Amino acid sequence: MEELLRFAPVARYDDHADAVPPADTAAGDAGRGARGGALHLSAILPAMSAAIGHPIPTVVHHDPERLRRALGMPEAASAIVVLIDGLGYWNLAMRLGHAPYLRSLMNEPANQRPIATCAPSTTVAAMATFGTGTCPGLTGMAGYTQLNTETGKLCQLIQFTDAIPPTDLQRQPTVFERLALRGVRVTSCGLPKFKDSPLTEAALRGSDYIGGVTPRDRVLAACRAAQTPGLTYLYVRDADKIGHGHGWDSDKWIAVFERIDAQLAQLKRSAPAGTLIVITADHGMIMADPEQRIDIADEPELSRGVRVVGGEPRSLMLYADDGETAETIAARWRARLGESALVRTRDEAIAQGLFGPVEDRIRPMLGDVIVSAAAAVTIVDSRTQSDKATHLPSVHGSCSYLESDIPCLIDVA
């Protein structure tokens, strides 16, 4: 666990596929060599577009066919991609005894390697990265909360509360809508309430959406859709929901994980023969340590010069007061937090490629200072956050292997 909670190297956004580490189940080996490139969440949909014969390049991925080969996806007329919210590679690997179908996939050498998600390792940023095949620096979706540059206030991007409208904020075309423009069938299967949600509109627009009340309804809808050549997307949310509520290592989480495995096994049994199945996630989760919780409300040095705090407990974006510089705020935070967090100015984070290439209009949406929590630390602000939000048992968002390594498991029905 100590190894898994170390910071992973910053992942790159390109088609690089030559220097990725060999498949290995050791976290130390998983971090060697180049990270990201073809082995990245942003590469999955471009690679799948090539697999179904309609390659869609993006701003950061120019060669979908190379991505397909690097990820080991076979060609197929029809493909289903399943995104399991919160099921990181190492969360999955440590609980394989409860998941016979997923265990069978992990026995395949091609599946015995994690790929990288985006930074921050959180749903809002990852969904847009996945849906567009790009990066937070281009989608403008960089955290649970961030600055609305039109109002100067903090907005929330799950429900888009006080936010810039979805298609105005997130202007990158999605892979779904680009496939649809070519006449390719694209179907999304999820909860009915997500059909017209702002997050769907921003990150996953362009598909025909089929709402299903129960997990079985959604799985069978995906299998029916796959009878026609094209691409099908299936979203599974419960691992993240139960992880936040009870902890990812709780009995309740394990029970949900077992049900998810059963749903995926049913998908495999019910999908048309020859259908490509790809199973991935948006991020992993860690168990927060209550003894390592830091509350900005109790830390005058941390709140000094900070106008507003965005992000989430594992990945904060600090917006400076007028007259304050990012460097002075970063220096105060480094002095107070030491090894409890990695503190970068916005310019440093962008130069390191943390958000991928960044558009000029999006730069001010990112914090003047970016704080990535280390180990099992959480950094909260009880002045603005609810008691429940500051005491979540499992969290994510930072750059540890446990949070930022995700699965990309490939099967064929």
351 and 219, same domain (yes or no): no
- Residue 14 in domain: no
Query: What gap in Å lies between CA 161 and CA 309, rounded to an integer?
Result: 16
358 and 274, same domain (yes or no): no
Residue 10 CA to its chain's centroid (Å)? 14
- Residue 161 in domain: no
How many CB atoms are closer than 10 A to CB 168?
A: 11
Helices 251-270, 238-246: inter-axial angle, 10-degree rounding: 180
Q: Write out the residue range of the structural domain in which residue 320 sits.
A: 290-391
- Residue 326 in domain: yes
- Residue 214 in domain: yes
What lies within 8 Å, CB to CB, of 246 at 6+ separation is 252, 253, 393, 394
For the chain, the domain total comes to 2
248 and 302, same domain (yes or no): no
pLDDT value at position 109?
92
pLDDT value at position 28?
39
273 and 335, same domain (yes or no): no
What lies within 8 Å, CB to CB, of 7 at 6+ separation is 342, 372, 374, 398, 399, 400
Question: What does each C-alpha distance from 258 to 101, 234, 245, 278, 394 come to in angstroms?
Answer: 10, 18, 17, 19, 19
CB 141 within 8 A of CB 135: no
Question: What residue has token string 């099921």?
Answer: 87
Residue 304 CA to its chain's centroid (Å)? 31
In 296-406, DSSP assigns E strands to 306-312, 315-320, 341-345, 369-373, 378-380, 394-395, 405-406
Query: What gap in Å lies between CA 239 and CA 260, rounded to an integer?
Result: 8
Q: The CATH number of the domain where 363 resides is what?
A: 3.30.1360.180
281 and 357, same domain (yes or no): no
330 and 300, same domain (yes or no): yes
299 and 281, same domain (yes or no): no
- Residue 258 in domain: yes
Under DSSP, the state recorded for 302 is: H
The closest alpha carbon to 92, from 260, 236, 251, 244, belongs to 260
What b/e sequence results for 293-310 when a residue is b if at least 16 CB atoms lie within 10 Å of its CB, and e otherwise?
ebebeebeebbebbebbb
Tens of pLDDT along the chain (413 residues) come to 999 999 999 999 999 986 444 334 343 343 345 799 999 999 999 999 999 999 999 999 999 999 999 999 999 999 999 999 999 999 999 999 999 999 999 999 999 999 999 999 999 999 999 999 999 999 999 999 999 999 999 999 999 999 999 999 999 999 999 999 999 999 999 999 999 999 999 999 999 999 999 999 999 999 999 999 999 999 999 999 999 999 999 999 999 999 999 999 999 999 999 999 999 999 999 999 999 999 999 999 999 999 999 999 999 999 999 999 999 999 999 999 999 999 999 999 999 999 999 999 999 999 999 999 999 999 999 998 999 999 999 999 999 999 999 999 999 99
pLDDT value at position 214?
96
- Token digits of residue 14: 């390109």
- Token digits of residue 387: 């008691």
pTM above 0.85, yes or no: yes
CB 354 within 8 A of CB 344: yes
pLDDT value at position 34?
72
- Residue 321 in domain: yes
232 and 357, same domain (yes or no): no
- Residue 149 in domain: no
Question: What residue has token string 């179907």?
Answer: 187
255 and 378, same domain (yes or no): no
Query: What gap in Å lies between CA 338 and CA 5, rounded to an integer?
Result: 16
92 and 104, same domain (yes or no): yes
- Residue 123 in domain: yes
Q: Are strands 185-190 and 230-236 parallel, antiparallel or unpaired?
A: parallel
Q: The CATH number of the domain where 177 resides is what?
A: 3.40.720.10
123 and 266, same domain (yes or no): yes
263 and 362, same domain (yes or no): no
